[in-house]
Structure 1
Amino acid sequence: MKPPSLFRHRNFMLLFGADTVSQLGTQISMLALPLVAVLALEASEFETGLLVAAETAAFLLVGLPAGVWVDRMRRRRILITADVVRGALLASVPIAWWLDALSLPQLYVVALGMGLATVFFDIAYQSYLPSLVGRDQLMDGNAKLEIVRSAAGVAGPSVGGGLVQVLTAPVAVLADAVSFLGSALFLWRIDATEQTPDPAGRQGLLKEIGEGLRYVATHRILRMISASTATANFTSGMIAAVEMIFLTRVVGLAPGAIGLLFSAAALGGLTGAAIVGTVSRLVGTARIIWLSILATAPFMLLVPLSGPGWKTSLFAVGMFMHGVGVVLYNVSQVSFRQGVTPEHMLGRMNATMRFVVWGTLPLGGLAGGVLGELFGARATLWISVVLALLAVVPLLLSPLRTMRDLPAPDEVSA
């Protein structure tokens, strides 16, 4: 029997609403915060790379213990607390700017604090969804939430670029601060029963961290997915370190035009979220994981070829196809991860995966900043996109290469 539509699922729709509000604001600040550094504080390539590193360093600092804590606490409470913390941190940026006290060290602190809260939010969020909607609707739930993220990505950069151009970057950050508080209100209204994990089963922080690491490391599919995603995210960090400088100082674009370009990537993500169900049925739930990267990653070679005039469209095409591939890949592999992992291990599995795959982002940001200082923004983009092509290799060396569909959860263990 076909399960009822999630659009009639009250608690999912509250999560959907929270995600919608939060994602729209996040897309604005993802554009505005680096532009605060570049335009308001005249940051260099290396200083911008440090900001990217600070945003994601928390996954290396607390990623693993956060998974244990998420498995020990009610996940909705973690989500609400993380939203409130992120809203307060972002609000400090325009306040400091109005007081003529804004500095790069403050941006680094805000970015690091945002990252710490995001670690807990993301791990709790991915661990909360299976209990909220049921594992038989994970693909549908993840696809709908990816549509939200991608749709916000279409509107957010355009709105953010316009706000930066009209109101300045620090004021644009305020929109995201408000959005996180709105997200917290939606989450607060969820009334799903959530049991507090039994403390009797706790075995010590280090031992439970080790269980999560072993679960991923000994799982023949999860470990290859982690290697592939880590490679892709490392190169994403490199690109993020120099792309604003490339677009503003090399291509010569205004903030509004940059926002439109980033909307192209989000439009690709929206396209990917809309077709992921159909594509996975046509090519297979296992095959789509590696085929999504193999078919779309080469288009990123267009990004460093872009320049003033009509060549700006090369950046848009490359980012659009990248957005399609990322969403096809993420919806498929995240749904598999959630479906294959026992309930009591979800926090630690997600934390281990996040530690590995997001932990490479700050390293990539630092590498991109250093390479940008040495060779310039365009050369760094070339190095980044060529390395990104290697992300598919672990998947092609895994059992996924010979499978059409993913096995049932009880068929995969090592």
Structure 2
Amino acid sequence: MRQDQSSPSPMEPLRRPAFARFWSGSSLTFFAAAMTTVAVDALVINELGASEAEVGVIRAVQFLPYLLVGLIAGALIDRWRKKPVLIATTAGSGIALSVIPVLWWSGSLNLAAVAVALFITGGFGVFTAAAQQPVLPSLVRRDELVSANARLGQSMTAAQTSGPPLGGGLVSTIGAAASLMASSVGYLLSAVLYARMKPSPAGADTPTPSEKSASSAVKRSIWRDIRAGMAFLYRHRTLTPLAISTHIWFLANSAAVTVFALFALRHLGLSPFLYGITLALAGVTGLLGALVAPRIGRRIGEGNAVIAARMLYPVSWAVVALAPQDPVWGLVMLCFAQALYGFCMGFEDPNEMGYCQAVTPAHLLGRMHATMRSANRSMAVIGALLGGVLAGVIGYHGTLWAIIAVFTAAAVVIGLSPMRGARALP
């Protein structure tokens, strides 16, 4: 691997064995998450009869761990080996998620139990996510980061393409609880693949002297480390406006996906399978977006790629708001909206992640991503709660138009910033 990293030209990331295993494990978690989304929505809305506000709460508790421990997780990840964290927390997510079907089969499942299980699953997910991005630069070269993120984006969107219909089909066939057990198995298999991953000895997975310090020293300095990560992110010329725009985007997006589930399953009366189909279209076009992401980044720059996507999100959700309560045309417009939404995310994510990884020093990667992620998920908690409450108070359409205004604000913030024309490499 060292020989590959010293070669003059970039290599296809999947030819690197360590990245290939990381990609395979991550792909399984993407599939598990895509199936879980449909199964949880069907379970909570259709089978447990949750109100709009309760749906918002269920959405919010999945992001709440990022608010509570996200920053600490990032600081700790910069001290720990990433591989053991990935193995343990991914397996933990699978075990925690399996509690829901077990309780369902025992006849003792309720909304509170679902919320607790998803909260624990999200807690493990905080540490999984905190370790994933910092370990990536140890698996590929810097000039391969956008391509590596594109490969991950392609597998994510492939999972979003086939995962929701598969999840919807499983829900219709064997029920939501059994579908969640299938997702649990996916997480466990992913942990096995992470266990076989071998990062570069000179990469980010190598322990630093601080990892070997006494626990008392760790306690004394961890808050200083957290502040260093926050200071880097929120004092950077381009990362600061990117972060602020992304925080606003997560507020809007969390509210939007909460209302979308209610709008599709309850307002339009779609079956779990058709609901899965609408989500799958976002995966289909997201895959196309991820395929062209490196080309778009090279042509217009990573900064402009992110800005272009942020400008199109309000359009996609406006189509949802305009969808009529008709079983045919309503479904058609939801499918079109999800297709545009998925394509934007497909080409935006690799360019955004590749840019952030390229301009952030290796020793700050964990804290920078954790700071960004914690703030994003904190906004997602607020967005999910607001989306559910507003949907019950002012209706689905009024809530959607308010969400569109927030998406527009996110686009304005980054569109008027130094991210215009920003590139990871000269």
Residue 329 (structure 2) pairs with residue 310 (structure 1): yes
From 63, 68, 71, the equivalent of 1:64 is: 71
Task: Using the TM superposition, give the Cα deviation of residue 121 of structure 1 relative to its aligned residue in structure 2, in angstroms.
Answer: 0.7
Task: Judge conservation of contact 1:268–1:323 (CA < 8 Å) in 2.
Answer: yes
Corresponding letter in the other structure for 1:329: E
Alignment of 1:19-168 (within 5 A): 19-168=26-175
Alignment match, 1:411? none
Alignment match, 1:216? 233
Residue 269 (structure 2) pairs with residue 252 (structure 1): yes
Corresponding letter in the other structure for 2:209: D
Task: Judge conservation of contact 1:34–1:51 (CA < 8 Å) in 2.
Answer: no
Distance across 2 between alignment mates of 1:283 and 1:221: 16
SS in 1 for 2:78: helix
Residue 293 (structure 2) pairs with residue 276 (structure 1): yes
Task: Judge conservation of contact 1:296–1:322 (CA < 8 Å) in 2.
Answer: yes
Alignment match, 1:412? none
Distance across 1 between alignment mates of 2:255 and 2:128: 24
Deviations 1:172-221 (A, max 9, x none): 11111000000001000112333222125966111111111111111011
Task: Judge conservation of contact 1:74–1:197 (CA < 8 Å) in 2.
Answer: no
SS in 1 for 2:139: helix
Task: Using the TM superposition, give the Cα deviation of residue 10 of structure 1 relative to its aligned residue in structure 2, in angstroms.
Answer: 0.7
Task: Using the TM superposition, give the Cα deviation of residue 320 of structure 1 relative to its aligned residue in structure 2, in angstroms.
Answer: 1.0
From 210, 213, 221, the equivalent of 1:204 is: 221
Distance across 1 between alignment mates of 2:185 and 2:296: 37
Distance across 1 between alignment mates of 2:208 and 2:47: 47
User: Which consecutive unaligned segments of at least 5 residues does structure 2 have?
Assistant: 1-7
Q: Note closer, same or farther for the CA distance 1:6–1:405 as it changes in structure 2 (3 Å cut).
A: closer
Task: Using the TM superposition, give the Cα deviation of residue 406 of structure 1 relative to its aligned residue in structure 2, in angstroms.
Answer: 4.5
More deviation, 320-329/344-353: 320-329
Alignment match, 2:397? 378
Task: Using the TM superposition, give the Cα deviation of residue 281 of structure 1 relative to its aligned residue in structure 2, in angstroms.
Answer: 2.3
Distance across 2 between alignment mates of 1:114 and 1:350: 20
Alignment match, 1:346? 365
Q: Give % identity.
A: 29
Aligned length: 407
Q: Note closer, same or farther for the CA distance 1:250–1:367 as it changes in structure 2 (3 Å cut).
A: same
Distance across 1 between alignment mates of 2:329 and 2:415: 36
SS in 1 for 2:18: helix
Alignment of 1:320-359 (within 5 A): 320-359=339-378
Alignment of 1:161-180 (within 5 A): 161-180=168-187
Task: Using the TM superposition, give the Cα deviation of residue 247 of structure 1 relative to its aligned residue in structure 2, in angstroms.
Answer: 1.0
Task: Judge conservation of contact 1:296–1:324 (CA < 8 Å) in 2.
Answer: no
Task: Using the TM superposition, give the Cα deviation of residue 53 of structure 1 relative to its aligned residue in structure 2, in angstroms.
Answer: 0.5
Task: Using the TM superposition, give the Cα deviation of residue 222 of structure 1 relative to its aligned residue in structure 2, in angstroms.
Answer: 0.8
Residue 382 (structure 2) pairs with residue 363 (structure 1): yes
Distance across 2 between alignment mates of 1:171 and 1:106: 16
Task: Judge conservation of contact 2:13–2:148 (CA < 8 Å) in 1.
Answer: yes
Distance across 2 between alignment mates of 1:330 and 1:6: 17
Corresponding letter in the other structure for 2:75: V
Q: Note closer, same or farther for the CA distance 1:53–1:21 as it changes in structure 2 (3 Å cut).
A: same
Distance across 2 between alignment mates of 1:300 and 1:312: 14
Distance across 2 between alignment mates of 1:76 and 1:404: 32
From 406, 411, 419, the equivalent of 1:387 is: 406
Task: Judge conservation of contact 1:297–1:325 (CA < 8 Å) in 2.
Answer: no
Task: Judge conservation of contact 2:11–2:144 (CA < 8 Å) in 1.
Answer: no
The TM-score with structure 2 as length reference comes to 0.92
Deviations 1:224-250 (A, max 9, x none): 111111111101111222222211221
SS in 2 for 1:3: coil
More deviation, 188-197/145-154: 188-197
Distance across 2 between alignment mates of 1:236 and 1:45: 17
Residue 252 (structure 2) pairs with residue 235 (structure 1): yes
What is the RMSD of the two structures over their aligned residues, measured on CA atoms? 1.5
Corresponding letter in the other structure for 1:96: L
Task: Using the TM superposition, give the Cα deviation of residue 356 of structure 1 relative to its aligned residue in structure 2, in angstroms.
Answer: 1.6
Distance across 1 between alignment mates of 2:11 and 2:250: 35
Task: Judge conservation of contact 2:248–2:409 (CA < 8 Å) in 1.
Answer: yes
